[in-house]
């Protein structure tokens, strides 16, 4: 039996669909979850969101023991959380960092992601569809890494 793909979402992503739609689009987090499950096919997807840093870290720890890959949209924690970086550095499998917007076309404080230091791959600027791309990539990376 294959290990699941963990899709972890950080602060304010529960407001997708209504939060700054000109940047993040109108797709809700529930719709993003559906995209992920469809892209994953038969592969188990563990899909979670939290506004709490410690909870994201606990889920990364869970993925260390149970997961094949992590897709993480750490949102604002991308640019502030060394604790999340440290947790991700312990994960032995592929890590896909995901951003709905292209963070490199935004204000300067969005340009340096700590999470990128642990990421196997980075997807940014594809909107909500980036999640489907990330799931397919994570599955492929996990299968190639054994």
Catalytic residue (one of 6, 77, 99, 114): 99
Strand order in the sheet with 95-99: 45-49, 5-9, 69-73, 95-99, 121-124
**Secondary structure E strands in 31-108:** 45-49, 69-73, 95-99
Bridge partners (DSSP) of residue 46 are: 6
At 61, phi and psi to the nearest 5? -60, -40
How many residues are given for the chain?
146
Catalytic residue (one of 6, 24, 77, 131): 24
Query: Catalytic site residue 99?
Result: yes
Inter-residue contact 45 to 110 (CB < 8 Å)? no
* Catalytic sites, residue numbers: 24, 99
């Amino acid at each position: 039996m294959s290990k699941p793909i963990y899709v972890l979402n950080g602060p304010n992503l529960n407001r997708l669909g209504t939060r700054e739609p000109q940047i993040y689009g109108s797709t809700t987090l529930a719709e993003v979850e559906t995209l992920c499950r469809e892209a994953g096919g038969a592969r188990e997807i563990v899909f979670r969101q939290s506004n709490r840093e410690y909870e994201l870290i606990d889920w990364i720890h869970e993925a260390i023991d149970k997961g094949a890959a992590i897709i993480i949209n750490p949102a604002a924690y991308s640019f502030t959380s060394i604790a999340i970086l440290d947790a991700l550095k312990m994960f032995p499998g592929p890590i896909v960092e995901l951003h709905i917007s292209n963070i490199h076309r935004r204000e300067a404080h969005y340009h340096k992601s700590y999470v990128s230091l642990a990421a196997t791959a980075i997807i940014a600027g594809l909107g909500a569809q980036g999640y489907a791309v990330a799931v397919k990539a994570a599955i492929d990376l996990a299968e190639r890494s054994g």
